[in-house]
Amino acid sequence: MDERLEKALTFSNYRATIENRRVTVTRRFETMRIVHKNNGLFFADETTIAFVNMLINDGHTDAILLDRNDNPIEIDDLPGFKEELMNVYFTAINEYSTQMKKLSKARSVKKAMDW
């Protein structure tokens, strides 16, 4: 095989591997941010955390919130729920950041596949 063709094929394989790993890491990050509470499904994201924090700042200790499936879910301990959301969010974002940094430093298919 021509040397240029072989280099192009190797680079193409490298780029495809990096992109596949990036998609996998992003999907894992999205999955890690899911919080189950009172048979509801919530997403630990900036919007949900800010909304719960606003309710707490307005003096609410409990509330009925819509989950990801638009089901009304009663949350009886908003401060505890906020803490849970923040813990889940920061655990997920820290792992996501670490994995993306590893991926950005990978200069070969073998390193990109190493976890």
| Structure confidence at residue 102 (pLDDT) | 87
Distance CA 97, CA 18 (A): 15
State the pLDDT at residue 90: 97
Q: Which residue, 92, 91, 79, 94, is CA-closest to 49?
A: 79
The pLDDT value recorded for residue 40 is 96
Task: Give pLDDT, residue 5.
Answer: 72
Nearest 5 degrees, angle CA 34-CA 75-CA 82? 55
Q: What is the pLDDT of residue 15?
A: 79
The kind and range of the H/E element at 98 are: helix 78-105
- Give me the pLDDT at residue 18, please: 83
- Considering only the C-alpha atoms of the chain, give the largest distance between any 2 of them, rounded to a whole number of Å: 72
pLDDT averaged per 10 residues, the chain (length 115) = 73 79 94 96 97 97 96 97 98 95 73 52
Whole-number pLDDT of residue 115 = 44
